[in-house]
Amino acid sequence: MTMDSAPTVPSLALEPTPEEVLLRKTVSEIVGRYGHACYMAASAQGEPMTDLWNELADAGFIGLNIPEEYGGGGAGLMELAIVLEEMSAGGCPELALVLSPGIVGSILVKHGTPEQRQRYLPAIAAGREKFVFALTEPNAGSNSHNVATTARRDGSDWVVQGSKYYISGVDHCDHFLLVARTGRDEQSGRGQLSLFIVEPDAPGLTREPIPTALRAPERQFTLFFDDVRIPATHVVGEIGHGLVPLFDGLNPERVLSAVICTGVGRYALAKATRYVKERNVWGVPIGAHQAVQHPLAAATMEIEAARGMTWRAAALYDAARPAGEAANMAKYLASKAGAHALDTAIQVHGGNGLADEYGLADLWGIVRLQQIAPVSTEMVLNHIAQHTLGLPRSY
Ligand SMILES: Cc1cc2nc3c(=O)[nH]c(=O)nc-3n(C[C@H](O)[C@H](O)[C@H](O)COP(=O)(O)OP(=O)(O)OC[C@H]3O[C@@H](n4cnc5c(N)ncnc54)[C@H](O)[C@@H]3O)c2cc1C
């Protein structure tokens, strides 16, 4: 990021607009009717929060980043991020919003064919159909260039062979966006990637759940592709050039991952602040002790700093400016700040911090996840070291 690019960002206001304030308030009221207990009940069942999702969809909030001509709100990533931050601040950090309108909606808006946009965007925007996203592989992990799941052309179809792991929400999706290798760059030796729309019940596709410590409505799966046929009409973007559309989805993913953390951080700090005002074990509320106040104050500042970078990243993305660096920084800062805020809130609750009733420790998985996915802390540091500091690539 260069200093001289900062003043030219067009839409990053110092204060939220009245529309943003109203959006936050409305989402917060809707989410408040459900609350964290509903989120945990859905998580225990491995079921989506359908009623909340439908209510947000009816209010037009699921597809805020989708153009109006496809039934969306015609706003941007900023507005979608506000929705998810308020959901998270209400104790309901739904990954489905990241995956469907966030990643796949963003990609289809920019890179879908006219037919694909007509077919899928109205359904995504209305929350009627959900997409998930399948990139990670057992033997490629953080190195997307090593993706080994292969699609080969066969007549009018593509035929996919390989596997993916840790794919969230496949059991409740209508479609998913698959990243597969369709060739190899002779010069660099790297895989040439392409994107495909796949139906979860396609013949030859099987899945196995991966039990994890994440307590969220979305479960994770390993997917096995055994000659899964995909019609050529389901290719998104240009064959062999999938990295371009991919990054138009991955930057929103980073911003949305960041607001899960800032939102849960706000949720945890609000609970903690209430608690320490009421809990009294030495004749005064524990919040009167400096050793209880200071960590809460520090965590509050960390969350606010992360939010500042997050809104900057969203504004850059919405202004169609390079957003990779800011999105990486936002995700890094927010994932650390969110985890620290949650941990601080647990600490000031004493033993109650671990009780299900207090709804804190059960959010550890979703916040801790954001230091691993969608891109790990270490890979963000690699990116910043190389591209911001100009240091040699270290991997
Ligand atoms: C709950 C959950 C949900 C997920 N949902 C999805 C999903 O819906 N879709 C999807 O595609 N993926 C999903 N993922 C996968 C996630 O994006 C990956 O786990 C993540 O990208 C890291 O890949 P990996 O697990 O293979 O780790 P690895 O790549 O094996 O890395 C392991 C460790 O080594 C470090 N490391 C690796 N390479 C380097 C390097 N060059 N320099 C420094 N450090 C390095 C990493 O930072 C990490 O700490 C999910 C994961 C989880 C846990």
Q: Which atom of ligand 1 is nearest to the CA of 137?
A: 26
Q: How far is the CA of 220 from the centre of ligand 1 (A)?
A: 13
Sequence-distant (≥ 6) Cβ neighbours of residue 51 within 8 angstroms: 34
Instruction: Please give the pLDDT value at position 186.
Output: 87
Structure tokens at 47: 């079921």
Instruction: Please give the pLDDT value at position 3.
Output: 45
Dihedral-angle region of residue 130 (phi above 0 means left; psi in -120 to 50 means alpha; beta otherwise) = beta
Q: Which atom of ligand 1 is nearest to the CA of 143?
A: 29
Q: How far is the CA of 289 from the centre of ligand 1 (A)?
A: 40
Instruction: Please give the pLDDT value at position 8.
Output: 53
172, 196, 260, 376: residue to mutate for ligand 1 pocket, most atoms within 8 A of CB: 376
* Burial of 152 (C-beta count, 10 Å sphere; 0-12/13-18/19+): middle
* SS3 (DSSP) at 192: strand
Dump pLDDT digits (tens) for 174-197: 999 999 999 998 888 888 999 999
Structure tokens at 334: 């927010």
Dump pLDDT digits (tens) for 292-348: 999 999 999 999 999 999 999 999 999 999 999 999 999 999 999 999 999 999 999
Please check the confidence at residue 1 and state whether its pLDDT lies above 50: no
Dump pLDDT digits (tens) for 87-114: 999 999 999 999 999 999 999 999 999 9
Dump pLDDT digits (tens) for 249-298: 999 999 999 999 999 999 999 999 999 999 999 999 999 999 999 999 99
Q: How far is the CA of 374 from the centre of ligand 1 (A)?
A: 7
Q: Which atom of ligand 1 is nearest to the CA of 378?
A: 47
Instruction: Please give the pLDDT value at position 188.
Output: 83
Instruction: Please give the pLDDT value at position 2.
Output: 47
Q: How far is the CA of 136 from the centre of ligand 1 (A)?
A: 7
Q: How far is the CA of 362 from the centre of ligand 1 (A)?
A: 22
For 300-321, give one letter per residue: b (16+ CB within 10 A) or e.
Answer: bebbeebbebbbbbbbbbbeee
Please check the confidence at residue 9 and state whether its pLDDT lies above 80: no
Sequence-distant (≥ 6) Cβ neighbours of residue 238 within 8 angstroms: 194, 244
What is the DSSP-derived secondary structure letter of residue 213? S
CB 191 within 8 A of CB 184: yes
Considering only CA atoms, which of 104, 106, 60 is closest in space to residue 83? Answer: 60
For residues 143-151, average pLDDT: 93
* Burial of 192 (C-beta count, 10 Å sphere; 0-12/13-18/19+): middle
> Looking up tokens 């074990």, which residue turns up?
281
Q: Which atom of ligand 1 is nearest to the CA of 99?
A: 8
Residue 234 identity (one-letter amino acid) = H
Ligand 1, CB within 6 Å, residue ranges: 132-136, 141-142, 166-168, 212, 214, 220, 369, 372-374, 376, 378-379, 382, 395
Return the bridge partners of 162, or none.
225
